[in-house]
Amino acid sequence: MLRHLQIARWTSHSQYIHLQIARWTSHSQYIHLQIARWTSHSQYIHLQIARWTSHSQYIHLQIARWTSHSQYIHLQIARWTSHSQYIHLQIARWTSHSQYIHLQIARWTSHSQYIHLQIARWTSHSQYIHLQIARWTSHSQYIHLQIARWTSHSQYIHLQIARWTSHSQYIHLQIARWTSHSQYIHLQIARWTSHSQYIHLQIARWTSHSQYIHLQIARWTSHSQYIHLQIARWTSHSQDIHLQIARWTSHSQYIHLQIARWTSHSQYIHLQIARWTSHSQDIHLQIARWTSHSQYIHLQIARWTSHSQYIHLQIVSTFISR
């Protein structure tokens, strides 16, 4: 057994035309309602369609709005569904202006186990293209957020991705930026993690210019027992290669610092290593320099120690002429 009802209204004014159609159906299993409105003004055309359905298992609602102005076109679609297991909502907006095109899609889902939200924005201007995607998820165990931005200008391309996760045990954040200019390429990645036991931060920067390549990596870790920092810089110029590594560690018992510099020029190679340690009993410093020229090789080692009882300095210099 079913019941069906349809109502149509049509109006013509001096300024616009309006049409409305309503359909209503009741089955033994479900109820369905559809309403359509169509309006034509002197300036724009507007269409709206709404569908509403109630099944024994779920409820569904869809609304579509379409508008055409003298300046732009706009379309919006909304879908809402409620199942016995989850709720889902999707909204899509599409706009075309004389200057740009814009699209936004939002999806929201609530399951018995988690909540999920995704938003996508896409814009095309006369000057650039931009895309942004955001995903947010909340599980019974953790929360996750990811945002991606992609932009293409007439001059450069840029991409940024951010991931943020909160588990019951730790928090993690990662940000990646990638940029390509007409002159250079740049990449930066940052990772930040907080565990119940320690905090860790790592940042990597990579840049390629028309003249040189540069890489820098920084790691910072704080454990319940010590703090550690390491920075590495690597640069390749058209003339030389340079590498520097710095390690700094603070334990409950001592502090340690090590710096290594390595340089390769077209004319020579140079290496310098410095170690500095402060114990509860003494301070120790060691510096080693090694240089290889086209004419000679030189090695110098200096050790400096300050104990509670004495001070000691030793310098060893070796020179080999070619």
Per residue in 18-56, pLDDT tens? 889 889 888 877 888 899 898 988 778 888 998 999 888
Give the pLDDT confidence score for residue 225 in this predicted structure: 81
Q: Inform me whether the pLDDT recorded for 1 exceeds 70.
A: no
Give the pLDDT confidence score for residue 5 in this predicted structure: 82
Give the pLDDT confidence score for residue 69 in this predicted structure: 82
Give the pLDDT confidence score for residue 189 in this predicted structure: 92
CA distances from 89 to 109, 122, 144 (A): 6, 19, 19
* Tokens encoding 232: 């590495």
The pLDDT-based confidence of 322 (bands split at 50, 70, 90) is low
Could you give phi then psi for residue 242, rounded to 5 degrees?
A: -135, 135
Q: Inform me whether the pLDDT recorded for 232 exceeds 80.
A: yes
0.75 exceeded by pTM: no
Q: Inform me whether the pLDDT recorded for 2 exceeds 80.
A: no
Q: Specify the higher pLDDT residue, 3 or 158.
A: 158
Give the pLDDT confidence score for residue 140 in this predicted structure: 83
Q: Residue 305 carries which DSSP code?
A: E
CA 249 – CA 220 distance, rounded (Å): 10
CA distances from 85 to 1, 82, 142, 313, 322 (A): 29, 8, 20, 77, 83
Q: Inform me whether the pLDDT recorded for 205 exceeds 90.
A: yes
Angle, alpha carbons 208-273-276 (nearest 5°): 120
The pLDDT-based confidence of 282 (bands split at 50, 70, 90) is confident
What average pLDDT does the chain have?
A: 87
pLDDT for 240-251, tens place per residue?
Answer: 889 999 999 998
Long-range contacts of 253-256 (CB under 8 A, 24+ apart): 253/279, 253/280, 254/278, 254/279, 254/280
